Structure 1
Amino acid sequence: MREIIFITGGQRSGKSRFAQELAEYSSANPLYLATARYWDDDFEQRIRRHQTDRGEQWETIEEEKRLSSLSLDGRTVLLDCITLWLTNIFHDNGYKLEIALEEAKREWNALIQQDFRLIVVSNEIGMGLHAPDESSRHFTDLQGWINQHIAASADKVYLMISGIPLQIK
C-alpha cells in the first residue's frame, strides 16, 4: 500500500483542497496530520479554517516535528504542511541551516518507512522575490532542498497552479 503523493505550489494555489480531495477519495476515514504551531492570532484563524473545511470522517493528529514517532501503518494520511513543519525545526535549531536540514532529512526518512498512503503538502517559496535577509534566504534554501528530497522519494508529484493540479512525476 505504501504510496507517497507530493503536492507543491504557491500560497493559495489550491494545494490543501486538492490534497483533501485525494485523501477523501482514497479512504473513508483519512487522517489529517497537522504540523502548525499556534504562532499568533492569524495562524489560529488559518488553523480553524482548515478544520472547518474537513468533514466528520477525518481524524486529526497534531505533531509539530516528530512525525516518525506516530504509528500510521495502513492509513491514508494528509500531512499539511512541510513548510510549517520546517519552520518548527528551523526555529528550534536556532535558525542553523545545516543542522535543520539534517534533522528534517533524518525525520522524513524515518517517517516514510511506514506502510501507508501519504499525501504531502508543501510550498514552493523560492519562485518569488529574493528574500531580503539572511535567515529568510536560508529558510528558502532549506525549503527547496527538502522539497527536492521529498519529491525524490515520492511516487507522484503535483504542482498546483491557480487551482489546477499538474502531475510532473
Structure 2
Amino acid sequence: MALLADLKSSQEELEAQLSKRMADFEAQLRASSPHADSQTKLASDFYAFRDLVWGLLKNMRQQITDCANSMDSMEMRYRRKALLFNGIPESVDNVSDAVISTIQKSLELPDIEASQIVLCHRLGEKSDKRSRPVLVRFSTYSVRATVWKNAAQGYFGVIV
C-alpha cells in the first residue's frame, strides 16, 4: 500500500504543477495584447490541451482508486483463510504439529490434518513473559470456518 500512496502523492504533485503552469500561461495569454487570429488560435489550443490534461489526470486518479480497491479486496481474501492461535507454549519445536494437536484434541476435530494447513508460524519477537501468537492459514475457507466454529463454542485453554 505504500507504493500506491507514493503513486497517488506523485500524481497529486503533478496535478499541482500542471495547474500552476497552466494558470501562469493563461495569465500571460490574457495580459498580452490581442493580435487577431494567432492569439485566438493559441488560446483555443491551450484550452483544448488543458481539457485533455485534466481528463487524463481524472482517468489516472480513477485508475489509482480502482487499483487500491483491488489490492484491498485481494488482501481481505488472503486473510479470510487465516486464524490466530494464542496460548501455544513457546517450548514447542514444531509449531505446526502443536497446532494440529490442539485442533484435534482440544477443539475435538480429528479430521483436520497437516495437509489442510498452508502456513503456520509465530508472529512477533520472542519474549520470556508470554507466548507469541501463531498465525495459521488453512487451505480452504470451509476448514477455517469449521475450526472457528468449534473454537467459538467454548474455551479450551487456547484462544483462537
Same fold (TM over 0.5): no
TM bucket normalised to smaller: under 0.3
- TM-score of the superposed pair, with normalisation by structure 2: 0.22
- TM-score of the superposed pair, with normalisation by structure 1: 0.21
Larger relative contact order, structure 1 or 2 (CA cutoff 8 Å, min sep 6): 1
Query: As a proportion of its length, which structure holds more helix?
Result: 2
